[in-house]
Chains A and B, each alone.
Chain A
Amino acid sequence: IAGITQAPTSQILAAGRRMTLRCTQDMRHNAMYWYRQDLGLGLRLIHYSNTAGTTGKGEVPDGYSVSRANTDDFPLTLASAVPSQTSVYFCASNPGADEQETQYFGPGTRLLVL
């Protein structure tokens, strides 16, 4: 069982470049999330999707976009990367239906923007 996979594992990116972080889950979960984690700031929600075809903004959405064309995939795009987007990015999902909901996290993508 793969759960959630993220790609790439890590990336060094020049400022101004476009970058898409990939996230795929095989659990048929309805809801998916993107977080960034910075030292001393914990995890902050960037964007979320309650179900395929819908997306919403989290705490820190500026500079990022997402799409949810199907249930399994939830890519995060940085249209023009800036150094402040250097962070560890985590994708997560949950069933979105049960009362006892939990989020399942991927292994993360470490991004360095120079």
Chain B
Amino acid sequence: LAKTTQPISMDSYEGQEVNITCSHNNIATNDYITWYQQFPSQGPRFIIQGYKTKVTNEVASLFIPADRKSSTLSLPRVSLSDTAVYYCLVGDKGSGTYKYIFGTGTRLKVLA
């Protein structure tokens, strides 16, 4: 299973773009990269998932370089409500086993 490394915490101001980078040097060929968001006292919530290049949805963008050894979650124009913990994880899709390693995540604090 590919291990991920991401910053422990980040601070940003409202209206700014926030980029959170995650490294996953041992990513396997069949692995997808998935990002989750967790608010206090709640379970994690899916944000975005990708395999390579760039993926964009209504919430965020995910940039994945060609070697796929890292990925960057981009949150455009953050607001106070984006304060949360963000998890990068790499999914082992081989042999039908879906065991995701969440890690400790990045604690994002958005300031007014």
Contact = CB atoms under 8 A, between A and B. Distances in A.
A31 B98 CA distance: 8
B34 interface: yes
Given A105-B43, A105-B45, A58 B99 contact: yes
A90 interface: yes
Q: How large is the interface on B (under 10, 10 to 19, 20 to 34, 35 or more residues)?
A: 20 to 34
Contacts, number: 59
A56 B102 contact: no
B49 A42 contact: no
Contacts of B102: 35, 42-45
A97 B104 CA distance: 27
B42 interface: yes
A50 B96 contact: yes
Interface in B72-112: 87, 91, 93, 96-105
A60 to B, nearest CB: 12
A35 B104 CA distance: 13
Nearest to A100: B49
A37 to B, nearest CB: 9
B106 to A, nearest CB: 10
Contact of A108 (B32, B41, B45, B101): B41
Contacts of A40: 104
Contact of A41 (B44, B46, B104): B104
B29 to A, nearest CB: 14
A42 B105 CA distance: 7
Contact of B43 (A44, A100, A101, A107): A107
Contacts of B98: 31, 48, 50, 94, 96, 101
Contacts of A92: 43-44
Interface of B: 32, 34, 36, 41-46, 49, 87, 91, 93, 96-105
Interface of A: 31, 33, 35, 40-45, 48, 50, 56, 58-59, 90, 92, 94, 96, 99-108
9 contacts: A31-B98, A41-B104, A42-B105, A43-B102, A90-B44, A99-B32, A101-B91, A102-B49, A107-B43
